[in-house]
Amino acid sequence: MREIEFRGKTKACFLVGGSLECHQWPDTYRIINKLQDEKVIPETIGQYTGLKDKNGKKIFEGDFLRNGDDIMLVIFRKDLASFALSKKGWLHDHFFQEAVSNSDCEIIGNIHDNPELLR
């Protein structure tokens, strides 16, 4: 079975945990793991894809991956209920293994800390 994890950014750092708790009033989101239960910024929440890069790092939604000269963004396509890769210049998004293997890629940042990588 695929491991379910979420990542979200507090004001200071990213927090990873196996549970995401949402409250409508007040509009708060919390990432919960064995050691912490912290409020996170909603726009920074991303789910673990279940895949790892060539260095064994977990790939989350919102991560930038490098494969050679290509830089791709990991996104979640709600209409397809699937994680995909997006790259400027592609006509459409691609699934992992369709365009590139996750084991050939390296995480080089994320959209929240490195927005300049979005080209």
Q: How much is the pLDDT for 16? A: 72
pLDDT at 72 over 90: yes
Neighbours of 41 (CB within 10 A): 12
Give SS3 for 46: strand
- Residue scoring higher pLDDT (77 or 25): 77
The 3-state DSSP class for residue 102 equals helix
pTM of the model: 0.84
pLDDT score, position 22: 65
Closest residue by Cα to residue 40 from 70, 12, 9:
9
As given in the structure block, the two tokens for residue 35 are: 């050691």
Residues listed for the chain: 119
pLDDT tens digits for range 23-70: 655 667 776 666 666 778 888 999 999 999 999 999 999 999 999 999
Which residue bears the tokens 């920074």?
44
Give the mean pLDDT of 3-32: 71
Which domains does the chain carry? Answer: 6-117 (2.30.30.290)
